[in-house]
C-alpha cells in the first residue's frame, strides 16, 4: 500500500493517538505509522529554528491549514465587515481596551497568577496599584499589550525583545535582575509540571544570543525561501521563543506578546480586539501537548500550528459572539431606560449617551445647553443621577464634572426602581 492510498483522517494524528485506532486492513500499527510519516515528508518546508542537536523544525501545508488561513484572512485583515462597535471611532476604544484587559488577565492566569477575573478587571479599570505579584503580572501584561500597538511597525531586534520582556516582567520576577536580559549559564531552566515531570529542557545559555538573532531575522520576514503565510510565521515565532526559553521567567507571556506583535505587523488589525489566551486557558493541556508532539515527532511543527489555528478561529468566534451579546444587551438597556419612571426624558437621553460613551463628561453648563433648561434644573438632573449611583463627580478647577460609573451597564440592567 502506498501512503497516498491510505484513508485520510481529518485530524493530524500523533502516534500516541494513532496506535489506539484500528489500522487499515493488512497493516500493523507500526506499518501504518510508517506510511503516514512517509506521506508527510512531501512538501515539507523548513524554518531557521533548529533544535539542540542542530536539526531544523519544519511543517507542511495540509487541508485544515488552508481552510483556517483563508478564514483568518477573511475575518481579521483588510477592509473586512465588522460590527459597528469596532469600526465606529466613538466606541472602538472601549472594545479595544476591554479586549486588551481580557488578554492581560487570561495570559497571566495561564502563567499561574492567583487572582479573580473580576478583581483583576476592576484593578485595571480603576487604575489601582497592584498589591502582589499576580496583580503586577496583569498590569504589566496590559501595558505591554497597549505598547504592542505602538511598536508593530518596528522591526524585531534583540533590543526590542528585551524591551518587551522587561515591560512584562517589571517587579514580577523572583529574580528582579532577570528582567530584559537573557538567562545566564548558572541559571538552569527546565519546563515541568506541578509533579516535577520534566517536559522540555531548552538550549544552553551560551547558544541564546545567536538563536535570538536568528529569531529576529526570521520574524522580519527573512530567512525562509519563498512565501511564508504571515499567520504561520507568527505561530512559528510564538513556538520559537517558547522553545528557546531565553529568560529566567516570563517566557510564555513574552512568546504570546511576540505572536500579537507579528499578527499586527502582518496587517491583522482585528487582533487588537482578540484574546488568544482565552482559548488556550480552556484546555492548557492541549497547548502543552501540541508543543511536546512537535518536539518529539521529528520537529514537526504541524501539531503546534494546527492547535494554534484552532485557537485563533475559536477566539475570532468568541469576539463575534461577545459583540452580538453586547449589542443585544445595549438594545435591552435602551428599552429599560425608556420605561423608567424615576428618570425624566433629559436624564434618559444623558444615560443613553453614557452607555455608548463611557468616557463622556457632563457639566451643569453642557446639560443646560443640550436641553435648553435653567441652571437649577440642570443641577437637579445631574445631582439626582449621582445620588442614584449612576454618575460620579469631582471638581476640576472651579467646575464640577460628572462621568458615568464604570459598571453603568450592569447597574442599569439590575436596577429598575429608584
In this structure, are 288 and 403 located in the same domain? no
Answer yes or no: is pLDDT of 193 > 80. no
DSSP for residue 79? S
Cβ–Cβ under 8 Å, residues 336 and 416? yes
Better-predicted residue by pLDDT, 387 or 77? 387
DSSP code for 300: B
DSSP one-letter code for 401:
E
CA 338/CA 204 separation, integer angstroms: 66
Q: Do residues 57 and 35 share a domain?
A: no
Residue 222 has a CB neighbour count (10 Å cut-off) of 10
More confident residue, 141 or 416: 141
Average pLDDT of the chain is 86
Binned at pLDDT 50, 70 and 90, residue 326 comes out as: confident
- What pLDDT is attached to residue 223? 58
Are residues 148 and 74 part of one domain?
A: yes
**DSSP, residue by residue, 20-48:** TSPPPTT--HHHHHHHHHHHHTTT-EEEE
The whole-angstrom separation of Cα 327 and Cα 85 is 8
Residues 367 and 393: their CA atoms lie apart, in Å, by: 14
Residue 160 belongs to a domain with what CATH number?
1.10.3290.10
Percent of the chain residues past pLDDT 70, beyond the cut: 89
Q: Are residues 142 and 279 in the same domain?
A: yes
pLDDT, mean of residues 245-258: 94
Half-sphere exposure of residue 353: CA atoms within 13 angstroms, side-chain side: 14
Cα–Cα distances in Å, from 34 out to 1, 6, 56, 201? 11, 11, 21, 28
* 58 and 23 belong to one structural domain: no
Q: Are residues 254 and 347 located together in one domain of the fold?
A: no
The answer to whether residue 334 sits within a structural domain is no
215 belongs to a structural domain: yes
- Asked if 191 contacts 245 with a C-beta cutoff of 8 angstroms, the reply is yes
Residue 208 has pLDDT above 90, yes or no: yes
Is the same domain home to 117 and 97? yes
- For 39, other C-beta atoms within 10 Å of its C-beta total 16
Q: Worst-scoring range by mean pLDDT, 89-93, 186-190, 326-330?
A: 89-93
121-125, 148-152, 157-161: range with highest mean pLDDT: 157-161
In a domain, residue 332? The reply is: no
Residue 3 predicted with pLDDT over 60: no
My answer on whether 277 and 347 are in the same domain is no
Number of domains in the chain: 3
User: Confidence class of residue 337 from pLDDT cuts 50, 70 and 90?
Assistant: confident
Question: Per the domain annotation, does 234 fall within a domain?
Answer: yes
What does the pLDDT average to over 132-156? 90
CA–CA dist 385, 389 (Å, integer): 6
- Taking the C-alpha atoms of residue 29 and residue 18, their distance in angstroms, rounded to an integer, is 8
pTM recorded for the entire structure: 0.79
* 184 and 85 belong to one structural domain: yes
Cβ pair 214, 48 in contact under 8 A: yes
Element (H, E) at 9: none
Could you tell me the pLDDT band of residue 224, with boundaries at 50, 70 and 90?
low
For 49, residues 6+ apart whose C-beta sits below 8 A from its C-beta are 56, 57, 214, 215, 218, 236, 239, 240, 243
Q: Is 19 inside any structural domain? A: yes
Digit-coded pLDDT (tens) for 6-47: 555 568 999 999 999 999 988 999 999 999 898 888 888 999
Q: Domain check: are 116 and 18 in the same one?
A: no
Q: Do residue 35 and residue 169 come from a single domain?
A: no
Closest CA to 309 of 145, 66, 78: 66
- Provide φ and ψ at 230, rounded to 5°: -60, -35
Map grid coordinates 439626582 to a residue: 384
Which residues lie closer than 8 Å to 129 by C-beta, 6 or more apart? none
Confidence of residue 148 (pLDDT cuts 50, 70, 90): very high
| Residue 83 is assigned to a structural domain of this protein | yes
Determine, yes or no, domain membership for 187.
Answer: yes
CA–CA distance, 409 with 70 (Å, rounded to integer): 36
Select from 51, 38, 30, 33 the least CA-distant residue to 4: 38
Q: Is the pLDDT of residue 418 over 50?
A: no
**Most trustworthy range by pLDDT among 103-107, 228-232, 334-338, 342-346:** 228-232
Q: Is residue 265 part of a domain?
A: yes
Q: What is the dihedral of CA 12, 18, 22, 28, to 10 degrees?
A: 120
CATH number of residue 401's parent domain = 1.10.10.10
User: Domain of 375?
Assistant: 341-414
At 416 the pLDDT is 47
Same domain, 360 and 253: no
Q: Give the end of a domain, one of 265, 297, 323.
A: 323
**Per this entry, what is the length of the chain?**
418
Amino acid at each position: 500500500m502506498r501512503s497516498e492510498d491510505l484513508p485520510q483522517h481529518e485530524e493530524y494524528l500523533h502516534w500516541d493517538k494513532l496506535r489506539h485506532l484500528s489500522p487499515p486492513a493488512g497493516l500493523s500499527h507500526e506499518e501504518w505509522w510508517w506510511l503516514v510519516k512517509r506521506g508527510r515528508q512531501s512538501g515539507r518546508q523548513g524554518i531557521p529554528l533548529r533544535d539542540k542537536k542542530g536539526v531544523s523544525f519544519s511543517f507542511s501545508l495540509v487541508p485544515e491549514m488552508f481552510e483556517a488561513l483563508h478564514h483568518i484572512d477573511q475575518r481579521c485583515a483588510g477592509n473586512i465587515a465588522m460590527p459597528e462597535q469596532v469600526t465606529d471611532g466613538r466606541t472602538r476604544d472601549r472594545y479595544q481596551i476591554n479586549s486588551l484587559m481580557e488578554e492581560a488577565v487570561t495570559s497571566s492566569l495561564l502563567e499561574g497568577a492567583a487572582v479573580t477575573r473580576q478583581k483583576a478587571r476592576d484593578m485595571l479599570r480603576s487604575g489601582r496599584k497592584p498589591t502582589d505579584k499576580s496583580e503586577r503580572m496583569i498590569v504589566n501584561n496590559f501595558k505591554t499589550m497597549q505598547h504592542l500597538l505602538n511598536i508593530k511597525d518596528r522591526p524585531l531586534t534583540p533590543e526590542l525583545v528585551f524591551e518587551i520582556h522587561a515591560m512584562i516582567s517589571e517587579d514580577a520576577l523572583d529574580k528582579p535582575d532577570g528582567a530584559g536580559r537573557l538567562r545566564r549559564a548558572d541559571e538552569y531552566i527546565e519546563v515541568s509540571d506541578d509533579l516535577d515531570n520534566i517536559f522540555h529542557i531548552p538550549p544552553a545559555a551560551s547558544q541564546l544570543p545567536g538563536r535570538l538573532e536568528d529569531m529576529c531575522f526570521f520574524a522580519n520576514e527573512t530567512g525562509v525561501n519563498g512565501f511564508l503565510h504571515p499567520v504561520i510565521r507568527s505561530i512559528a515565532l510564538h513556538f520559537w521563543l517558547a522553545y528557546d526559553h531565553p529568560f529566567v521567567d516570563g517566557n510564555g507571556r513574552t512568546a504570546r506578546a511576540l505572536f500579537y506583535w507579528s499578527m499586527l505587523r502582518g496587517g491583522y488589525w482585528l487582533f487588537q480586539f482578540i484574546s488568544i489566551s482565552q482559548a488556550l486557558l480552556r484546555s492548557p493541556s492541549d497547548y502543552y501537548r501540541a508543543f511536546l508532539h512537535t518536539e518529539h515527532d521529528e520537529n514537526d511543527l504541524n501539531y503546534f500550528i494546527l492547535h494554534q489555528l484552532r485557537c485563533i478561529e475559536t477566539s475570532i468566534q468568541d469576539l463575534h459572539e461577545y459583540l452580538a451579546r453586547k449589542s443585544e444587551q445595549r438594545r435591552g438597556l435602551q428599552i429599560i431606560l425608556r420605561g423608567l419612571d424615576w428618570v425624566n426624558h433629559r436624564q434618559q437621553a444623558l444615560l443613553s449617551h453614557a452607555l455608548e460613551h463611557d468616557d463622556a463628561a457632563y457639566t451643569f453648563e453642557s446639560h443646560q445647553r443640550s436641553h435648553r433648561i435653567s441652571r437649577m434644573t440642570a443641577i437637579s438632573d445631574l445631582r439626582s443621577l449621582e445620588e442614584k449611583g449612576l454618575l460620579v463627580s469631582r471638581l476640576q478647577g472651579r467646575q464640577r464634572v460628572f462621568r458615568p460609573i464604570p459598571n453603568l451597564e450592569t447597574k442599569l440592567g439590575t436596577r429598575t426602581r429608584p
